[in-house]
Chains A and B, each alone.
Chain A
Amino acid sequence: MTSFQEFKNQALSLINGWNEWCWVTHRQRVDEDGYLVLKLYKNKANCILTSTTSSSIRNDDNQIEDNDIDMSIVDSSVNSNNNNNNNSVDQDTDIHIYEYHVIFSRSYQVPVLYLNVYKKDSTVLSWSDIWNTLPLSKYDSSSHNIVPYFSQVEHPILGIPFYQLHPCETPNLMKQILSVSKEEHDDEDNNNNNDTIENLQQYFLSSWLSIVSPLVGINIPLHFLKYMSNK
C-alpha cells in the first residue's frame, strides 16, 4: 500500500461490501486520519450474536454506541444455563464485545489490526482470557514455529491500551500474495486471467483481512469476497 489515501479508498470500498465495518474519524485531529472499526458480540461459546450494522462514515468523537444494538436478539440466544425465563438484560453478563480496529501504519505502510475485548460493563478482558478465545491460540499449541503475535501497545489515535497484531511481516506477506499473478500469466490454463500485479494492489486491504480474520475470530463473509472479486 502506498499511502493513507489508498488505505482509505480501499477501506471505504470494503465497507460497501461488508457493512458491519465502520469508518471512524475524530474531529480533534489536525491531519486527516481515520480507521476501520468492527464490533462483534460473542457469547461464552464464542458464537457471534450480532454486530453493529452501521455502514455510515462517522465523524463523531465516539465510536458506535452500544445502545444501538438490539439487545433482544442477544437475550433470546443466550439462555442455556438459565432456568428462569425472564427477558431481562442481566443474562448478558456472559457476552463479550470484540472490538477490532484496522489502522494504517505510516511507518510500515500497511494496515495493522488492533483488538480489545470488553465485558458488557465496559471492563477490558485480561490477555489470557482473550487469547484462549482466539483461534490463533490453537496455532501456538501445535508448535507452529512461525506465528503472528499480539502485544499491548498504545492505540495510535485513541491513546488507550489496545492489543496489536505485529505488522512487521505484513509487507513481505502481501508482496508474496499479490505477486501470484506473475505465475498465473504464464499458465496456459488461465487464458482468461487479465490481472496484472498493479491491478491486484487494489485488493491489498481485503486480501490481508481475509488472511488475518480467521486467526482473530472474525468470520469473513463470502458475499464480501464475491463483491471484491466483481470489482
Chain B
Amino acid sequence: MEDTDTTNTAATSPSNVTQPSSPTPQTRSNIVQDKLVVYFKNAGGAAALKQKKFKLQSNLSFQNVTEKLRTQLKLKSNESLFLFVNQVFQPSPDETLGELFKCFSHNDQLIINYSDLPAWG
C-alpha cells in the first residue's frame, strides 16, 4: 500500500521544464489520508456488527483497534475480546495497523476475526 510516484522524472531534465510533482489521483485513492479498510468478522459466539467494515488510520496500534471494536460491540470491561489476523494469530498490541495491513491484507482490506473465547483455566 505504498504511495508510488508515477511521474516520469528523467535524470537529465532541463531546469526550465516543470515536472508535475504530485502523484496521479489513481495511486492515492486507496490510501487517502492513510486510512485502511478493516473488515471485522465475528467468530465463535461473538456478536455480529451491523457495520462490519471500517476505515481506520494506519498509524493506530492494534491495542487501539481492539478498543474501538470493544466500543462498537458495547462490551463491559469484564467481558473479554480477542482479535486475530489470518484467523488464528493474535498480533502484539503494539503493532501498527499499517504494518499488519501490509502483511495480512487481501483485496485491499484487512480481515480481523474477533471472538469472546469465554474461559480460561
List B1-34 residues whose CB lies under 8 Å from chain A.
Answer: none
Q: Which interface residue of A166, A200, A225 has the most chain B CB atoms within 10 A? A: A225
Report how far A179 CA is from B117 CA in the complex, Å: 12
Instruction: Report the minimal beta-carbon distance from A190 to chain B, rounded to whole angstroms.
Output: 8
Nearest residue in B to A168 (C-beta to C-beta)?
Answer: B121
List B64-121 residues whose CB lies under 8 Å from chain A.
Answer: 77-78, 80, 82, 84-95, 99-100, 103-104, 106, 111, 113, 115, 117-121
Report how far A31 CA is from B11 CA in the complex, Å: 68
Q: How many residues of B contact A (CB 8 A)?
A: 33
Q: Which interface residue of B85, B113, B117 has the most chain A CB atoms within 10 A? A: B117
Partner of B86, one of A187, A192, A219, A229: A229
Q: Is A167 on the interface with B (CB-CB < 8 A)? A: yes
Contact B99–A222 (Cβ < 8 Å): yes
Q: A222-B95, A225-B85 are in contact. Are A173 and B103 (CB under 8 A)?
A: no
| Chain A positions near chain B (C-beta within 8 angstroms) | 142-149, 166-170, 172-173, 176-181, 183-184, 187, 189-190, 192, 195, 200, 203, 206-207, 210-211, 213-214, 219-222, 225-226, 228-229
- Name 18 extra pairs, CB < 8 A, besides A170-B121, A172-B119, A220-B92: A146-B118, A147-B120, A149-B121, A173-B117, A180-B87, A183-B43, A184-B41, A200-B87, A200-B88, A207-B90, A210-B90, A210-B91, A220-B90, A222-B95, A222-B103, A226-B103, A229-B86, A229-B104
